[in-house]
Structure 1
Amino acid sequence: MTSKSVSTALTLYRSRTLTLEQAATIGGCSTAQLEKSARAFAPSTGTTPADD
């Protein structure tokens, strides 16, 4: 599992090109590891920059 392969797999999963299982196979990791990576790189929610 390299960061580049996981990044590519996440991109394809988020664009709905691949299922989670397919993306994990391409990324060389388990679905649980891919989900964890996806959460780690997900944009934060609940806070937005204030417009001044």
Structure 2
Amino acid sequence: MYTHRLITALTLYQSGTLTLSQAASHAGQSQDTFITTLQRRGIPIREHINLPQQHHAG
């Protein structure tokens, strides 16, 4: 059932029906985890949020 809720939340977020926080809640994830899920699936994040900076060794 978890997968169905996640797919539904992703679909509703992508279509603009749910906000980021609503979709994360619907999916049963924290907002940070849901953002990671969106990024991994190549789904653009609509809301302006402060993403954690990734540090690269260099």
Task: Give me the TM-score of the superposition, normalised by structure 2.
Answer: 0.64
Q: Which has the higher contact order (CA 8 A, sep 6+)?
A: 1
User: Which of the two has higher C-alpha Rg?
Assistant: 1
What CA distance in whole angstroms lies between the structure 2 residues aligned with 1:4 and 1:42?
19
Q: Measure how far apart 1:3 and its partner are.
A: 2.0
Number of residue equivalences: 43
**Unpaired segments of 5 or more residues in structure 2?**
44-58
Q: Which amino acid counterpart does residue 11 of structure 1 have in structure 2?
A: T
Q: Which residue of 1 aligns with 2:42?
A: 42
Task: Give me the TM-score of the superposition, normalised by structure 1.
Answer: 0.70
Q: Which amino acid counterpart does residue 10 of structure 1 have in structure 2?
A: L
Give the RMSD, CA atoms, in angstroms: 1.8
